[in-house]
Structure 1
Amino acid sequence: MRDTVYVLVFDGFADWQAALALCEVRRPGEWQVCTLGFSRAPVISMGGLTVQPDATLAELAMDRAVMLVVPGGHLWLRGEGAAAVERLREAHAAGATVAGIDSGVVPLARAGLLDGVRHTGNWAGQLSAVPDYAGEDQYDAEVLAANDAGVITASHLGSVEFAREVIRTLDLYSPTDREDWFRLFKHARLPAWCAGASPVEVAA
């Protein structure tokens, strides 16, 4: 049964980038969120939070994985994290959605998962520097997030858009409620049904 959203954590991971998406994943109570590390050793996020991974990459259960989320971090820009690259390729082949934001898109490119799908990122040149990347024609510079064929990608400026694509992929809420959610968190525009309330009250 696919019931788990895995999120990769490592020293220096950008903790805020997937936080909004993960809060919405957990809200309905139907999905599990599991943190993965390169080992079980605690890691410290870019924001200074100490996180104890629930499991290692090697322990990722392919039959339970509905999604594997990869936040940004300097690790990817140093060309490290080969074990995650291989696991991303395996997870996607097994039917899980892979989702990268900011430089977390780089390991998706290294895994060859962007070559045939519409995708985005921080800027095209960041991905063009990845050896064997062949997705230039599929890069969309006009959006902050893209979702195609089981691959979600987002710019470092697109955490709300990233969350919207995660929500859509997991079919959380109705289409109308998803758009209301996006307008609320992106533009602080209240849905029609909450006239008289404040954005803070609605978000809570």
Structure 2
Amino acid sequence: MTETVHVAVYDSLADWEIGYVTTAISNPEWQRRPGRYRVRTVGAGPEPVTTMGGLRIVPDTHLEEVDPGDSAMLILAGNDIWPTEAFAPFVDKARQFLDSGVPVAAACGATGALAAAGMLDDRSHTSNAAEFLQAVGYGGSHLYRDEPAVTDGDLITATGIAPVDFARAIFERLDLYEPRTLAAWYALYGDHDPRGYHDLMASGS
């Protein structure tokens, strides 16, 4: 059975933070179980949104239609609306996912919104900088880790300038690749080591 990975879309979505994620999930090559996952975009409503890069996206579905029990993960990329009420429905949905034991992956400004809602107070996490989260007045600063991406149970957090690390953490949580394949993928895209390509080819043989 195909499982759905929901990618939240909204005006000012930071395109670059999810490019590696959506491409790899949608590409069966090298996957442990090709075709296990599909990507579906989810908006606050059915209306089109425009990303930071100027791309116009019509959501496949909207938040009211998404049940955590029917999803493998909710992914929240950075944006400019995270401190506003426009992002509140996505925060509420993220809380519903975590309460249901379904993973959430958040990067950049989305981590700020989760912090402001108290959702990082008892989980190890990262973000753009410790000061970025301290500015929202949250109670989890003692659990902040200065790393590109951090996984704590069902929650993945990442800085907005490390889309490859964000992707790797998501792939690990979804068990998308065999460990040696994931290591080769990261060597190529994260370390820019051309030997990673050859290792990827070998991992599929």
**What TM-score, normalized by structure 1, do the two folds share?**
0.88
Which residue is equivalent to 1:32?
38
Which residue is equivalent to 1:157?
161
Cα deviation for residue 116 of structure 1 reads 1.4
Which residue is equivalent to 1:14?
14
**Residue 129 of structure 2 is aligned to residue 140 of structure 1:** no
| Aligned partner of 1:110 among 111, 116, 119 | 116
Deviates more, 1:9-18 or 1:186-195: 186-195
Matches of residues 1-204 of structure 1 in structure 2 within 5 Å?
3-28=3-28, 29-78=35-84, 80-131=86-137, 133-141=138-146, 143-191=147-195, 194=198
Question: 1:120–1:145: 8 Å Cα contact kept in structure 2?
Answer: yes
Which residue is equivalent to 2:31?
none
- Residues 193 and 79 from structure 1, CA distance in 2 versus in 1: closer, same or farther, beyond 3 angstroms? closer
Cα deviation for residue 158 of structure 1 reads 0.9
Give the distance between the partners of 2:26 and 2:154, measured in 1 at CA.
Answer: 20
Cα deviation for residue 22 of structure 1 reads 1.5
Cα deviation for residue 124 of structure 1 reads 1.2
**What TM-score, normalized by structure 2, do the two folds share?**
0.88
Aligned residues: 194
Deviates more, 1:37-46 or 1:111-120: 111-120
Give the distance between the partners of 1:11 and 1:155, measured in 2 at CA.
Answer: 19
Give the distance between the partners of 2:133 and 2:40, measured in 1 at CA.
Answer: 28
Give the distance between the partners of 1:33 and 1:193, measured in 2 at CA.
Answer: 25
Residue 144 of structure 1 aligns to which amino acid in structure 2?
Answer: P
Runs of 4+ in 1 over 4 A off after TM superposition: none
Question: 1:102–1:121: 8 Å Cα contact kept in structure 2?
Answer: yes
Give the distance between the partners of 1:92 and 1:32, measured in 2 at CA.
Answer: 20
Q: Which runs of 5+ in 2 are unaligned?
A: 29-34
Q: Secondary structure at the match of 2:22?
A: helix
Residue 32 of structure 1 aligns to which amino acid in structure 2?
Answer: R
The CA RMSD measured in Å over matched residues stands at 1.9
Question: 2:185–2:196: 8 Å Cα contact kept in structure 1?
Answer: no
Question: 1:3–1:31: 8 Å Cα contact kept in structure 2?
Answer: yes
Question: 1:89–1:111: 8 Å Cα contact kept in structure 2?
Answer: no
